[in-house]
Structure 1
Amino acid sequence: MDIILQILSGVFAAGPLLAMLGASLLGVFIGALPGLNPVMAIALLLPLTYSMDPLVALGMVAGIYNGSMYGGAIPAILLRIPGTPAAIATTFDGFPMAERGEAAKALKIACWSSAIGGTASAIALMTLGPLLARGTLYFGPAEYFWIAMFGMASVGVMVGRDALKGLIASVLGLLLGTVGLDQLSGSSRFTFDQPWLLGGLDLIVILVGLYALPPVLQLAEAADLKGLPASALRLARVRLGRAEVLALVPTWIRSSLIGIAVGILPGAGGNIAAFLSYNAAKNRARDPDRFGKGAPEGVAAAECGNNADNAASMIPALTLGIPGNVVAALVLGALLIHGLQPGPQLFHQAPDLVGGFMVQMLITSVLILLVGGAAATRVFAQVQRLPGVMLVPTILVLMAVGVYVINGRVVDLWLMFGAGLAGYLLEKLEVPLAPIVLGMILGPMAEQGVRRALLIGRGDPLHLVSSPLSMIIAAATVGFILWPLLRRLKPTRRSDR
């Protein structure tokens, strides 16, 4: 009871509350601007959180995350341009509703669906997270090694169109994670006699470069100098009737469960949750032909599904140290900034902080109803009038200042721009960036796990699979790696016949 009171008193203090409210507004603004995304915003925010209270910093992350996921529905409905990748499915029925004069109604449904999905996801995090953390207390070095390998394999295979490119990105992340001093022997690796590399590559600097610079370069490449006229963004006030709300309840329940399940699986992401939820709603509908022509259930399913992924993706991140998506990886970075090691021990080392972040994910989900109301949505819709080129210099300055204040080193700026250019080229080659980040985070965990397990087993490799749990996780890891290869072999076998 004491810890609950401590969590609530910390979350409902003035600082965290203002941080959540302001960040939720900022998140909707960012999501409403095509070309910007929550990953870029949180990556820019992280360097500024060094001097903040941890609950204030995490409250801002939660607000931007949940707010931007709803904000992505605004251009998806009004312009048929998804503000975030997870809002692609929202365009299927949201834009047709806008074309027949029901844009305000579609945005209202998106607002309620986002809040409901996010709330359900936060409740799942608050209930399943501590339970899973208790189970992971029985993990040894071998289990941690296989958990890290499973996380990298699953994300590498599931993110992006080409599983091979995803696995290559994971290996690249592993290589970047080896730079610096060996934590067990103390010897330097890949430092090239540069003292600033002894501590390894700064994760936050790499994150800012990989995820903030490529969208800026794409905005500059698009060269949008006009924006939209005000006449295209006029919205009327609308209220959902009781019958309309009751008709959407089954869709909300189904999509929330799908989004939570997808969020727990590392590497899936909100866009997959949205598509699965949309397809489930269409398959269960009495008249599936309405979908794609302006069905309210389509908007509700897509927005509820992608927001139900939000907090659920934090479950493996906080309990195992394996982020469910890129934003979860950034949250791990925020925890590392404040000296906290993600994993099962986190619930014992800082229960007030972990519990507070869970409550903040719940509060910011509910705040969507406040910041995404009719008046607020009309205001945020006006950001479509901003020319995209105007954002480029502003974001570049924020990136440079944020990275420089971390260590006060000019070399970090060059590292950031180098990572950003590499990220831009990799995206052009359709190589996913998430496995690189995951490799940097999980690589040291996997290395320490395998070396400690071999020390305990006196060099016997079979010690890595000496327990039933390690054997199960190892089999799942191998299965994830082999699945794309087996899937490619099936058509070949058929053609041979």
Structure 2
Amino acid sequence: MSQIFDHLSIGFDVAFSWMNLLVAALGAFLGTMVGVLPGLGPINGVAMLIPIAYALNLPPETALILLAAVYVGAEYGGRISAILINVPGEASAIMTTLDGYPLARKGLANVALSLSGWSAFCGSLAATIGVIVLAPLLARWALAFGPAEYFVLIVFAFCCLTSLLGRQPVKGTLSAMLGLAIATVGVDANSGVYRYTFDSVHLFDGIDFVVVVIALFAIAELLELLESAVRGENPDVPPSTRKLFNMTELLYTKWTVLRGSLLGFFIGVLPGAGASVASAVAYSNEKRYQEGRDPNSCFGEGDLRGVTAPEAASTAAAVGSFVPMLTLGVPGSGTTAVMMGALTLYNITPGPVLFDTKPELVWGLVASLFIANVMLFLMNIPMVRVFSKVLALPNWLLVPGILCISYIGVYAINAGTFDLTMAAVLGLIGYLLRKGGIPMAPMVLGVVLGDMMEQNLRRALSITNGELSILWSSPIAIGLWVVSLAIVVIPPIMRRRSKGKLSVSAEAALEGED
């Protein structure tokens, strides 16, 4: 324990220099703005700042602090547009839309925004403590995950999606399958075969996630708003009279935040898993857990726990992804992969020796995560009322505003008009699917996880020349298969048993009346 405090004293000496404090504050602000804008995301935010940091000749620890603050800030910012206008700023904020947007439509935007900020703060704080205490141990544990284990982990994530399918499992499964189909479009990275490109060069690289998420959430939502306006239905959003969450709501969600933080951190440690997997698994598990205790829970209709679980998990996973980067030299996410590239500009190679050769960089980064997290919380909470003013805008101004912001995000990907057309087409398809009662979240998660699932399956099979036995050859893989099977099989059995008990009790009550 004394060694940990010695390391932290080195880190805080670095973090509390005026330059690093200024850089952490600037990175936290820029990251929040990047997270708010659909289409940018933390990877683009970090990538855009690398040449600036290098051109300014910043010291390596200062540059890494700047990029880390942008990364965590983007995780904070992604929830704002997800809650207010049902447009997730990035992939990890998809799950926040499920309950965050209904809360905003009920006049609880301030409560949802402030409580999500608190959850993100707790998740990031818990994960930072985990990095300090458990980094070497978790790094060795993460090494046990090979391609087969990652494939089964993603299967487990899809099994968790069964809790999102509600009472219409066929429609939910269809939605997830459509997402997986979209993920297969483009040139196969292994064989070079063109798949579902229809000889269009614009589809050779596949359909970008940003195009899909903006189409299915933003454009489809705008079409529904326009339909309501044409019908003369213009539901008023009650004004949010409260500034922040209260103590009752804080205590109501405390265990949800804790569960989401721990789960998100451990998933974030796995190289390549990322915040998207963490938020999906955290939301699904929390929904399943709460519905098991209370069948009348309102997940998907505006439950505060549906906001706090994914927010705590996504920020915890973002911080947890630094563990494999620093200890193994393996990127824990796409954003940390970009940050590793930034370190190579300074001739620094992440890995176990980094703790001995550059302790000021490692522990300065860890200490700065503490400071940036506090800055983000203090920065975001006072801005809640400003952000929530978006809902007070009339539809004639709000609809074109959202459309412009969304299309700017789409255009920024490849600076081409094809993506704009694709977004419009997918948006119309998403609108029609919504009218048919097909949920959008499983589809988007299918797009996010589909490529990762396929690549890990291909790698696993290439190791054994096509032998499927590798998928259940390790204790970790077997454990994940067992848990996945239990998630799919046990809930229907429990529901049937509870229905049987209710029918028996109803019959007994009728006989008693007779």
Normalising to structure 2: TM-score of the pair? Answer: 0.62
Give the drift of 1:473: 1.3
Check whether the contact 1:69–1:307 (CA below 8 A) recurs between aligned residues. no
Alpha carbons of structure 1 residues 428 and 181: separation in structure 2 relative to 1, 3 Å: same
Listed one character per residue, the Cα deviations across residues 145-164 of structure 1 (whole Å, up to 9, x for unaligned) are: 21122222222443554333
Structure 1 counterpart of 2:185: 179
CA shift, 1:49, in A, is 4.3
Closer, same or farther: CA 315–237 of 1 in aligned 2, 3 Å: closer
Question: In structure 1, what is the equivalent of residue 476 of structure 2?
Answer: 469
RMSD over aligned CA atoms reads 5.5
Q: 1:413 aligns with which of 403, 414, 420?
A: 420
- Give a deviation string over 1:228-277, Cα, whole Å, max 9, x none: 89xx9697999x9xxx97x9986575453245367676535669859988
Secondary structure of the residue that 1:119 maps to in structure 2?
helix
Residue of structure 2 in register with 1:136 after alignment: 142
Q: Does 1:201 align with 2:215?
A: no
| Among candidates 76, 89, 99, match of residue 86 of structure 1 | 99
Shift in CA distance, 315/253, structure 1 to aligned 2, threshold 3 Å: closer
Structure 1 position 456 matched with structure 2 position 463: yes
Distance in 2 (CA, whole Å) between partners of 1:260 and 1:334 is 20
Q: Which runs of 5+ in 2 are unaligned?
A: 1-6, 51-66, 86-95, 268-277, 295-302, 322-331, 342-348, 356-360, 508-514
Q: Which amino acid aligns with 2:313?
A: A
Deviations 1:445-487 (A, max 9, x none): 3223333333333433223211121111122223333345545
Change (3 A) 1:479 1:467: same
CA shift in 2, pair 1:361/1:421, >3 Å = farther
Residue 478 (1) aligns with residue 474 (2) = no
Q: Which residue of 2 aligns with 1:312?
A: 313
Which position in structure 2 is the counterpart of 1:257? 258
- Name 2:408's counterpart in structure 1: 401
Query: Structure 1 333/192 Cα, relative in aligned 2: closer, same or farther at 3 Å?
Result: farther
SS class of match (2:280)? coil
Cα distance change of structure 1 residues 415 and 64 upon mapping to structure 2, 3 Å threshold: same
Give the drift of 1:390.
0.9
Aligned equivalents of 1:155, 1:422: Cα separation in 2: 22
In structure 2, which of residues 7, 20, 25 is the aligned counterpart of residue 17 of structure 1? 25
Name 1:147's counterpart in structure 2: 153
| Counterpart pick for 1:388 among 386, 395, 419 | 395
Residues in 2 aligned to 1:388 and 1:356: alpha-carbon distance in whole angstroms: 44
Q: Deviations over 1:389-422 (max 9, x none)?
A: 3111122222223322321222111111122222
Residues 458, 115 of structure 1: CA spacing in aligned structure 2 closer, same or farther, 3 A cutoff? closer
2:49 maps to what in 1?
A: 53
* Structure 1 residues 69 and 12: CA distance shift in structure 2, 3 A: farther
Contact in 1 for aligned 2:27/2:73 (Cα 8 Å): yes
Q: Quick one: percent identity of the two aligned structures?
A: 27
Contact 2:260 2:309 in 1 (8 A): yes
- Mapped contact 1:178–1:200 kept (Cα < 8 A): yes
* Partners of 1:152 and 1:313 in 2: CA distance: 17
- What is the 5 A alignment of 1:280-359? 306-307=307-308, 309-315=310-316
Tell me if structure 1 keeps the 8 A contact 2:118–2:377. Answer: no
Q: What count of residue pairs does the alignment treat as equivalent?
A: 422
Distance 1:365 1:196 in 2: 43
Which amino acid counterpart does residue 257 of structure 2 have in structure 1? S
Q: Amino acid of the residue matched to residue 86 of structure 1?
A: D
1:62 to 75, 90, 93: 75
Output one character per residue of 1:264-299: Cα deviation in whole Å (capped at 9) or x when no partner. 76535669859988999x9xxxxxxxxxxxxxxxxx
Instruction: Find the counterpart in structure 2 of residue 372 from structure 1.
Output: 381
Deviations 1:43-83 (A, max 9, x none): 344497486227375355234246568979xxxxxxxxxx9
Q: Secondary structure at the match of 1:174?
A: helix
| Cα separation, 1, equivalents of 2:30 and 2:305 | 23
Q: Which residue of 2 aligns with 1:43?
A: 38
Structure 1: state its 5+ residue gaps.
Answer: 28-37, 73-82, 96-102, 283-301, 321-330, 341-345
**What are the residue-to-residue correspondences of 1:237-276 with 2, within 5 Å?**
253-260=254-261, 267=280
- TM-superposed deviation, 1:215: 2.6
Which is worse superposed, 465-474 or 258-267? 258-267
Corresponding position of 2:128 = 126
Letter in 2 for 1:146: V
SS in 2 for 1:43: coil
Change over 3 Å in CA distance of 1:177–1:237 after alignment to 2: closer
Cα pair distance change 1:339/1:204, threshold 3 Å: farther
Q: C-alpha distance in 1, partners of 2:291/2:115?
A: 13
Equivalent position amino acid for 1:463 in 2:
I
Residues of 2 paired with 1:464 and 1:234: CA distance?
51
Check the 8 A contact 1:44/1:402 in 2, yes or no. yes
Q: Distance in 2 between matches of 1:236 and 1:164?
A: 40
Partner deviation per Cα, 1:297-341 (whole Å, 9 max, x = no partner): xxxxx7688336413235567879xxxxxxxxxx9777789898x
Which stretch has the larger CA shift, 46-55 or 115-124?
46-55
Equivalence for 1:286 = none
In structure 1, what is the Cα distance between the partners aligned to 2:103 and 2:155? 34
Alignment match of 1:438 (pick from 430, 445, 449): 445
